[in-house]
Amino acid sequence: MQAGARSILPAASTAGASCGFLFGLVDGALAWAATSAELTALDAFGCLAAAAFQYMLLGAAAGLLGALCCALVASRWLAVDPGARSFGLVLAGFLFVEAWWRTRPLFFYGLPATSPQRLVVAGLLLAASLLVARLVRDRASSLARSGGRLLFAPVVLVGLAGGVFLLARGGGVGARGELGPDDAKAPNILLVVVDALRLDTLGCYGDARVRSPHIDRLAREGVLFENHHTQAPFTWTSFGSTLTGKYPRRHGLVRMEPGRRMLPNTTIASWLKSAPRTAGGAFEEDDWLSATFHTGTLSTGSGLLRGFDVYYEELAGHDLVVVGDAWSQFRSDVLLWILATKVEQKLSGGVATEARDWLEEHADRRFFAMVHLYSTHTPYDPPAKFRAMYEDPEYKGPVKAFYAQHREMIERGEAKLTPQDEAQIRNLYYAGVTQADEAIGELVETLRAKGVLDRTLVVVTSDHGESLGEQGLWEHNHMVQTNLLIPLVMRLPGALEAGRRVAAITDSIDLLPTVCELVGAELPPQAEARDVIDGRSLLPLVRGDAASLRDYSYSENGLWTTIRSLRWKLWVPARAMDSATVLDPTAADRARLFDLEADPMEERDVLAGHPEVAAKLLADLRGWDATMPIPKDEVLLSPREIEALRERFGALGYADGIGGGK
């Protein structure tokens, strides 16, 4: 029976809305299971209803669009049963999107969506979705005819409830960070962490080729630390030390693996909300507005982001989320919003743009903003603007971008790089350095334009460095100095002397004590062994009141632990640290000693020639190890665990997580 346009369009939109309602409930339930929000029963119902309502609108629009398209190319096909066939089309679309997104970790994870492998998988998923939709369509149509009127009322009621919930919700950050009479005494804080940024690729650290004018200017107007170290050469554990002021085996986040969460710790963001002031009184929760903008590697589930009021997770597809706002947190895990955010990120620029816009809007408040930039992390695939600054126009080789999978192929011997290929990879990395520098410049200029730059502590650092082919190593989680030495530049006029360069050993654990002193806050309580703050304020070095804070820097990655002075560095296998033969040059599981003054790239082990130096360093390392409340035996991984982490995190460029490496 032929149906006119007047009957086809309502039937198509109703069928699409019904399909959308069902998928809204499914995705809402999945978001409910995944959310970190603490929802009351009323909030949970409201969020589920809101998800169903939004999917209903999307389904209705998809049904109408499908009907209009079919009217142009296959009007007779649609006219047979417009409701059922529109339902089938919308169902196939929803099924395909769901399957494509949910199965990403299973098929060629880490490759671009436009890669041939992923396109083949997408084609197979689309075919399967169409087949399932056709099988379901007739059954659903039969159910709709028999009980459609009974189902119509609850669907409409739930949808209306979702719409009312969205209209009635408040949201926002309220009055947090609004300045009072005494608030100008404490500076704002902008902490920029450029993932995998090598110290020696910045102009202010001596590189003559790579362009980093904005970081260089911050160094001229502030303080640069020449021997700054990370406590672990990979992200989660390093961030843990930066944000808590503790060594890894004190804060406890010593592995990168799904489901791993840092033990309860006081972080910079959480402490600023209640810290006693050194001048008397105490900060209160509403005194600071804190926001973090990152790739998603620092997920809220890791426990690293305690205390932040707002977070933005690019890789996870989470839009700007307000902690404490039930719908804001809930919707960030709803697939509809994830995909919308992914599209918006592609169009706007992601983390850097979001952070800049947020700073422009909230610069009149006291804020702590942490921005995690990723352009120097694999994949090295910078925009054309930055590529053109470094790529050799004569290069015709196969390297157009460098992914973690390529590093794995090199390690397995499946790919051989020519010198030209290696130079191309480095050039892509250098382009990422300049890309990050430009983003930092935009953040700084936003603060300057808003008139708050000179009362903002600006910190630029990294979580770890990167290997670019030296000794055959690529990416990170290696215990070499190119991974452990990281930049640290700080600017705050009036408190930090412009143009100052500090040569003493400093560590990422020193940031929290330094921030506390600069904002006038006392350190967190240190009653228990796990509460001890290992870092020290850097201000005595800046003022010239101290020549050094410590003699040694300690770092670890589960397989190796290192101790480094300004000249010497000892590598010790973690499993053999207490062995009587660990300093025997002939032993299989032995330490390595390097003279960094003569051999900064650590190419010549001089353990046999300097046994007394090695013995002194080992004694100090063992003493440090004994003070850690988490034994090293709890950190070590089995070969099977290491291989599992390779597979899970390889796509993100984390070769092995803690316990891996060479």
How sure is the predictor about 172, in pLDDT bands with cuts at 50, 70 and 90?
Answer: confident
| Gap between the Cα atoms of 620 and 125, Å rounded | 58
Sign of CA dihedral 393, 398, 401, 407: negative
Residue 78 has pLDDT above 70, yes or no: no
Q: What is the mean pLDDT of residues 486-511?
A: 97
**Whole-Å CA distances, 553 to 140, 220, 550, 566:** 66, 26, 8, 9
Give the CA-trace dihedral at 259, 260, 264, 267, to 10 degrees: -110
Residue 637 has pLDDT above 60, yes or no: no
How sure is the predictor about 26, in pLDDT bands with cuts at 50, 70 and 90?
Answer: confident
Sign of CA dihedral 656, 651, 358, 198: positive
Higher pLDDT, 471 or 166: 471
pTM of the full structure: 0.87
Q: What is the mean pLDDT of residues 75-104?
A: 68
Which structural domains are found in the chain, ordered by start?
5-168 (no CATH), 183-314+362-549 (3.40.720.10), 560-635 (3.30.1120.10)
Residue 633 has pLDDT above 60, yes or no: yes
The neighbouring-strand residues paired with 553 are 564
Q: For the segment 609-625, what is each residue's pLDDT rounded down to a tens digit?
A: 999 999 999 999 999 99
Nearest CA-CA partner of 267 in 296, 295, 297, 298: 298
How sure is the predictor about 183, in pLDDT bands with cuts at 50, 70 and 90?
Answer: low
Q: What is the mean pLDDT of residues 567-589?
A: 94
The first and second tokens of residue 550, run together, are 């410590």
How sure is the predictor about 115, in pLDDT bands with cuts at 50, 70 and 90?
Answer: confident
How sure is the predictor about 50, in pLDDT bands with cuts at 50, 70 and 90?
Answer: confident
Residue 170 has pLDDT above 70, yes or no: no
Percent pLDDT > 70 in the chain is 85
Q: For the segment 369-401, what is each residue's pLDDT rounded down to a tens digit?
A: 999 999 999 999 999 999 999 999 999 999 999
Amino acid at residue number 495: A
CB 230 within 8 A of CB 497: no
